[in-house]
Each structure stands twice: as C-alpha cells, then as structure tokens.
Amino acid sequence: MAGIFIRAVEATVRLQVVGKELLDGLEDDGVKAVLPFFHGRLFLLPANFSIRKIAILASMSRDGEIVSRVAEGFGFRMVRGSSSRGGAKGLIGLKMAMADGFHACTPVDGPRGPVNEVKPGMVYLAKRTGAPVLPVAASARPAFIFNRAWDKFMLPIPFSRGVILYGKPLYFDQDLDDEAVERDRAALQEAMLDLYAEADEMVGYRVTSGQRKGKRK
C-alpha cells in the first residue's frame, strides 16, 4: 500500500529534475557512484531512482524492514546493515552491489539522526571503492512537515511543485585515518546543506531554524 501511495502522489507532483546529466555522464563512462541524501527528504526519490540500478542500505530494525519491502517494490536491491564505521556488513554489502553494477544509495543521517547530520559510513565506502560521491537533494512546496519526527519528514501535497537536485561529484582519497575521514565527512556535510538550501529555494520552501540542523561550525 505504501508503494501505491507514493506512486500516486508522485504522479501529481510537478517535478523538475536538475543535474541528472552529471549521473548520466558517470553511467556513460561505466562509473558507479555513491548517492547520499537526507532521510526526511526521500519521498520524491523512489520513482526517479527506479530507472537506474541502485542498491539501498536499510537498517536491521523494524523500520528498516518496512523500508526494504517498499523499496523492493520499486526494483531496488536492498542491503541490510549499518552505515556506521562498525557496520561492516552493510558497507561490504554495498561494495559488493557496486561491483555488480549498482549505485550505492543511503540516507546519510539515518537511521535515527541527528537530522541532516552526515555520518561517516558513505565516506568510508567512497574511499574504499574510489567511487565519486554525488549528493542528491529533494524539496517540495506545499508540503506537510512532520515536525515531531526526528527527520522532519517532508510529505509533498498532491499537485505541489517539486525538485530533485544532483550536486557535483566529490572525490575522496583513500586515507582512512580518523582526521582524513572527518575532513571529508565535513566536506560532504557542507556540500549537502548547500544543495538542500538550493533545492528549497527553487521551490520557495523556507526551512525554519528548528528544521535545519547540521549547520557548519
């Protein structure tokens, strides 16, 4: 039922996709990318992603099981596990999927936040595979915001204006030292916050101070 609901709402949204040629270019060159996004903005992504070979990381929790069932209905390959540094199973699964020709995709502030704060898992994956990191942002207006949810989930209202915005690829070296990982995690954090701010501006959505976390220090 969740998949049917998502498809039905997405079919009404006046959606603009910007920057997809960046991912198209990587695919033309046979390059697989790491595609990070923020958990609260995932609603518009499934239909757009379903035209590509994408593997998604979902936690081992009950919520992860629900996400897996919905995502599999869109044709995605699901990998179960954690994206944290200690989450070897999840990262190994994504690495194997990339070797099979899939892009790796996950909400980088999940599964429980803090909201809009990038965790290092996808940075480790990019460093270990040499894959470019292509941030993805989504926004819509008007939309209902679940302010009591940890991720401030955005649910586009039918017939709203929506945008999916791809950022420029980031390339990280293979240095896995804690300082190097934190440097690259911070660079990804900054790139994603800027990209989401741009996506919000494109649709005229104004984020309140309580919704924008992960601010630069």
Q: What is the pLDDT of residues 129-154, one digit of tens each?
A: 999 999 999 999 999 999 999 999 99
114 prior amide bond cis, ω within 30: yes
Is 112:149 a contact under the CB 8 Å cutoff?
no
DSSP-derived 3-state class of residue 90: helix
Calpha distance 40→139 (Å, rounded) = 10
Residue 83 vs residues 10, 13, 37, 67, 197: alpha-carbon distances, Å:
28, 31, 13, 15, 25
| Beta carbons within 10 angstroms of residue 207's beta carbon | 17
Short-list 174, 192, 189, 166, CA closest to 27:
166
Calpha distance 217→197 (Å, rounded) = 17
In b/e form, how buried is each residue of 62-94, taking b as 16+ CB within 10 angstroms? eebeebbebbeebebbbbbbbbeeebeebbebb
Contacts with 97 (C-beta within 8 Å, 6 or more apart), sequence order: 55, 77, 79, 104
In b/e form, how buried is each residue of 13-34, taking b as 16+ CB within 10 angstroms? bebeeebeeebeebeeeeebbb
CB neighbour class for 216 (10 Å; exposed up to 12, middle 13-18, buried from 19): exposed
Confidence (pLDDT) at 70: 81
Q: Which amino acid is at 71?
A: A
Calpha distance 178→96 (Å, rounded) = 24
Per-residue pLDDT of the chain (217 residues; tens, 9 = 90+): 778 899 899 999 999 999 999 999 999 999 999 999 999 999 999 888 888 999 998 877 776 677 778 888 888 999 887 655 446 778 899 999 999 999 999 899 977 889 999 999 999 999 999 999 999 999 999 999 999 999 999 999 999 999 999 999 999 999 999 999 999 999 999 999 999 999 999 999 987 544 556 554 3
Is 33:131 a contact under the CB 8 Å cutoff?
yes
